[in-house]
Amino acid sequence: MNELDEPLSLDPECRARYERDGFMKLKLVFSAETIAQFRDPISSEVVRRNSVTAPLEERDTYHKAFLQITNLWRTHDTARRFVFGKRLAMIAAQLLGVPRVRLYHDQALYKEPGGGITPWHADQFYWPLDSDKTITAWVPLQPTPLEMGPLAFAAGSHRMTIGRDLEISDESERSLKEALAAGRFSEVNEAFELGAVSFHSGWTFHHAGANCSDRPRAVMTIIYMADGVRLAEPSRKQHFADWEAFMPGVQPGDVVDSPLNPVL
């Protein structure tokens, strides 16, 4: 359990590589023992809170991609312990080059056996924030070979502005695939060993393949933002939804520091 809070020293080149590529994948961030302590409790909470019951063949592309449960820390003590862990938060702060990060929110992303692709997208499309000092930790709770649909990134795509107005959809998959190819952004699609964690910028374009295995692809994610990021004026319905869900009481122009956004 101490692994959650113990600092992990990064190579001095890590931040430069993160700034260049818009993502960073680190091996052995956690031991198998630590992952094992959290996998079953988090999975049980995902099952308890899941409200999607339609068969895969009856769902749209978004809902075939994964079961999505947000802010597990608010409903489950073990999930809270994981989300509030200092190791991941310190890595996030180092990669962003800031002294402190706040929690934006967490979410479990479980790709069911037979679950479809996650289309190309950038997360920050959904976030009404005035800064790109945002980063997501993507933590698989099992070894994740290519057949399970690990997260894949377009290296350097956080600098591409085309497609930032697209939500996750069949259209984002088609349009961004073409734009990334035209921009000659290389795709990095690799298996994740147990204990590996990736970190990606809010504007880094990424996607995931289908889960062709007979097991769920269990993943816990934590989204961080630099302390001092402010709420921007919402400009789309997704912004209003995130404002209400994750920043209650904060007004446009204010620092995002609601009770749901503690410094970690």
Predicted confidence at residue 97, as pLDDT, reads 96
pLDDT tens track for 78-95: 999 999 999 999 999 999
CA distance 73 to 32: 22
- Backbone φ, ψ for residue 222 (5° rounding): -130, 125
Nearest to 262 by CA among 225, 221, 212: 225
Residue 81 in tokens: 């312990």
Nearest to 74 by CA among 246, 252, 253: 246
Assess whether pLDDT exceeds 90 at residue 2.
no
Mean of all residue pLDDT scores within the chain: 97
Q: How much of the chain, in percent, has pLDDT values that exceed 90?
A: 98
pLDDT tens track for 200-241: 999 999 999 999 999 999 999 999 999 999 999 999 999 999
| Cβ neighbours of residue 11 closer than 8 Å, sequence gap 6 or more | none
**Residue entry with tokens 């995931």:** 208
- Backbone φ, ψ for residue 231 (5° rounding): -75, 125
pLDDT tens track for 115-139: 999 999 999 999 999 999 999 999 9
| Cβ neighbours of residue 55 closer than 8 Å, sequence gap 6 or more | none
Confidence of residue 104 (pLDDT cuts 50, 70, 90): very high
The model carries a pTM of 0.97
CA atoms within 13 A of residue 204's CA, in its CB half-sphere = 27
| Mean pLDDT value across residues 186-190 | 98
Assess whether pLDDT exceeds 80 at residue 259.
yes
pLDDT tens track for 64-82: 999 999 999 999 999 999 9
Domains in the chain, please, with CATH?
2-246 (2.60.120.620)
Confidence of residue 1 (pLDDT cuts 50, 70, 90): low
Nearest to 140 by CA among 16, 29, 262, 19: 29
